[in-house]
Amino acid sequence: MQSARCLRSLPARVVTTWAVSLAWSACGGGDLVEPVTGDIVVRTTTAGVPSDASGYVVAIDGGEPRPIGPNDAITVAGLAPGDHTIQLSGLPEACTVAGDNPRTVSVPRDGAVESAFEITCPAPPGSITVTVATTGAAPDPDGYTLRVDRGPGLPISVNATQVVSDVAPGEHTVQLNGLAPNCSVEGSNPATVEVTTDAPASVQFAVTCVLGMLRWTQMTSGTTADLPDVWGSGASDVFVVGEMDTSDESVASMVLHYDGSSWSPQYQQSDLRLSGVWGVGPRDVFAVGFHFLTPGAVVLRYDGSRWTQTENFVGDEDFSLRSVWGSSATDVFAVGGASDGRVSRSLIAHFDGTQWLRLPGPASPSPELFDVWGSGPTDVYAVGLDHESDPPSGVILRFDGATWSPVLQQQNALFNGVWGSSATDVFAVGFELVSEFESAGTVWHFDGAAWSRMTLPKVTVLQEVWGSSATDVYAVGDEGLVLHYDGATWTETRPFRQNLLGVWGSSPADVFAVGNRGTILHGTP
């Protein structure tokens, strides 16, 4: 009874188990049995890789948080039997927990309850390294488009490496689009690649572009003038010079310009016959010719906004300029002829960036010159016809930086055009008489050691030659003739019947041929 009275005297606020035990002893009571408690085992399993590898935190009944790893287990002991809440927090934003969180568990008397949290975290993104290698004579001019799965198209050049980032791990398709009709991908396209987080995935595309024969289409020039020459700084900046008869039986010359979409007249002048055009760039272009009624050879120059006459060669002789070419803006050659009414000789002029000066040509032969080209300032060729020889002969002159000298003279021949890919790969085109009443086109080639006649189909007169490389050369001529040389064989086509007088291209897949009655042909794959 004493013990009972002692317990009743304890303050009401003393309610904890250990306090009752102490009070019981103080009041003279016997031994007490320890209260029964339980445990909670919290377990985590994480699929994927959380951005914070240090893990999460667990709180029981809103109490003090305890750390727990991404794949871990901890025990919270000494909990009173009954319901308790467990909350897992500290998860990265992209991770999710299966089931309730917080959740309620019932702790048994003198036992343990386990609660497992299953967490899913997305794997970090990977990347794909895409490499494109293009071979062939006519690579795609505007590059390609790269697409991963159904994502947006990404531009990539014909020879380039590009990294596509933030790609989810797993299997993906990579496709190369936007290829020109003459280009194809070797192997699979699209390609399948497995992306992991360990290392970048890689895809290689090998593209081959085959030139083949170009398709020639006639462009609208807006004129019926004869067009003897063409040159451009690029596919959307092309100049053509021309001439046409006027109502007063004179001649008017014009310059046409192509901006990538249409041709438009840029300059016109009466009593002028323009024959050649060449430039350093879009804001520095030269055109040459000669007056029809009045004496004098003329040089026009374009500065990007207008054409002006910068030189007029006049004297006791009748001058004419036929062609112009330069290695730079301070090294330009213009060639033609000079005649005193009895004898014709070469007219060779040079521009040093400040003034035009007439250069001495060879004493003999001294041909009238129709075209000029060089591989550099000390390796320049001019071709034409020696009227004074008997019979008249085609002549090729070479300038070594100091002197013009003949390197080839061919009887009963005429050379109209010259072009080369290098100092050891030069072509001269024209025609040779094969009988009293018949002529045939001819091409002579210089290999760095000697000139030799090339084997051709039986063709008509050739007027001009141009190429993009030693294995991609065009020669054009009468009756719509187009010859193409692939490094081994000349192949003939005749897309139209008008005589073709000039040829030039911005690339192997973008070639222009011009000729009589306003003819402008565009060659594309």
The 10s digit of each residue's pLDDT in 311-351 is: 888 877 889 999 999 999 999 999 999 988 778 899 999 99
List phi, psi (to 5°) of 252. -120, 135
Classify residue 169 by its DSSP letter.
Answer: S
Average of pLDDT values for 126-133? 93
Question: So what's the pLDDT on residue 249?
Answer: 60
pLDDT reading at 137 higher than 80: no
- Do strands 38-47 and 112-120 pair parallel, antiparallel, or not at all (unpaired)? parallel
Question: So what's the pLDDT on residue 142?
Answer: 80
- Do strands 438-446 and 368-376 pair parallel, antiparallel, or not at all (unpaired)? unpaired
126-209: CATH class: mainly beta
Position of tokens 């975290």? 121
**Calpha distance 97→116 (Å, rounded):** 10
**Angle formed at CA 509 by CA 505 and CA 514, multiple of 5 degrees:** 40
Question: For residue 111, what are the CA distances in angstroms to 32, 42, 81, 175, 341?
Answer: 21, 14, 9, 61, 127
pTM: 0.68
Classify residue 93 by its DSSP letter.
Answer: T
| 3-state SS class at 5 | helix
Question: For residue 157, what are the CA distances in angstroms to 141, 235, 516?
Answer: 9, 18, 39
Question: So what's the pLDDT on residue 199?
Answer: 76
Q: How confident is the model at residue 12 (pLDDT cuts 50, 70, 90)?
A: very low
Q: Facing residues of 428 across strands?
A: 418, 444
The CATH architecture assigned to 215-524 reads 7 Propeller (2.130)
3 versus 247: the higher-pLDDT residue is 247
* Backbone region of residue 61 per phi and psi (left: phi > 0; alpha: psi in -120 to 50; beta: other values): left
What percentage of residues in the chain have a pLDDT greater than 70? Answer: 91
Question: So what's the pLDDT on residue 357?
Answer: 95
| 3-state SS class at 141 | coil
Q: How confident is the model at residue 51 (pLDDT cuts 50, 70, 90)?
A: low
Question: So what's the pLDDT on residue 240?
Answer: 98
What percentage of residues in the chain have a pLDDT greater than 90? Answer: 70
Question: So what's the pLDDT on residue 492?
Answer: 94
Question: CA nearest 319: which of 339, 333, 334, 302?
Answer: 339
pLDDT reading at 416 higher than 90: yes
Question: So what's the pLDDT on residue 496?
Answer: 86
Question: CA nearest 367: which of 401, 390, 338, 326?
Answer: 338
Q: Facing residues of 34 across strands?
A: none
CA end-to-end distance (rounded Å), the chain: 116
DSSP for 320-360 reads EEEEEEEEETTEEEEEEEEE-SS-EEEEEEEE-SS-EEEEP
Question: So what's the pLDDT on residue 17?
Answer: 41
Is residue 436 within 8 A of residue 482, CB to CB? The reply is: no
Question: So what's the pLDDT on residue 247?
Answer: 63
Q: Can you read off the two tokens belonging to residue 292? A: 């029809």
pLDDT reading at 257 higher than 60: yes
Question: So what's the pLDDT on residue 436?
Answer: 75
Question: So what's the pLDDT on residue 20?
Answer: 41
Question: CA nearest 520: which of 490, 476, 486, 484?
Answer: 476
**Calpha distance 441→458 (Å, rounded):** 7
**Calpha distance 524→247 (Å, rounded):** 37
**Calpha distance 220→258 (Å, rounded):** 11
Q: How confident is the model at residue 107 (pLDDT cuts 50, 70, 90)?
A: very high
Question: So what's the pLDDT on residue 23?
Answer: 44
Q: What is the pLDDT of residues 483-504, one digit of tens each?
A: 999 899 999 999 888 999 999 9
Average of pLDDT values for 143-155? 92
Q: How confident is the model at residue 32 (pLDDT cuts 50, 70, 90)?
A: low
pLDDT reading at 79 higher than 70: yes
Sheet of 103-107: strands edge to edge? 66-68, 56-60, 82-89, 103-107
Question: So what's the pLDDT on residue 350?
Answer: 97
The overall average pLDDT reported for the chain is: 89
Average of pLDDT values for 302-306? 96
Question: So what's the pLDDT on residue 19?
Answer: 43
Question: So what's the pLDDT on residue 250?
Answer: 65
Question: So what's the pLDDT on residue 248?
Answer: 60
Task: Report the b/e string of 218-242 with b at 16+ CB within 10 A.
Answer: eeebebebbbbbbbbbebebbbbbb
Segment among 135-149, 292-306, 360-374, 391-405 with least mean pLDDT = 135-149
Question: So what's the pLDDT on residue 94?
Answer: 81
462 versus 30: the higher-pLDDT residue is 462
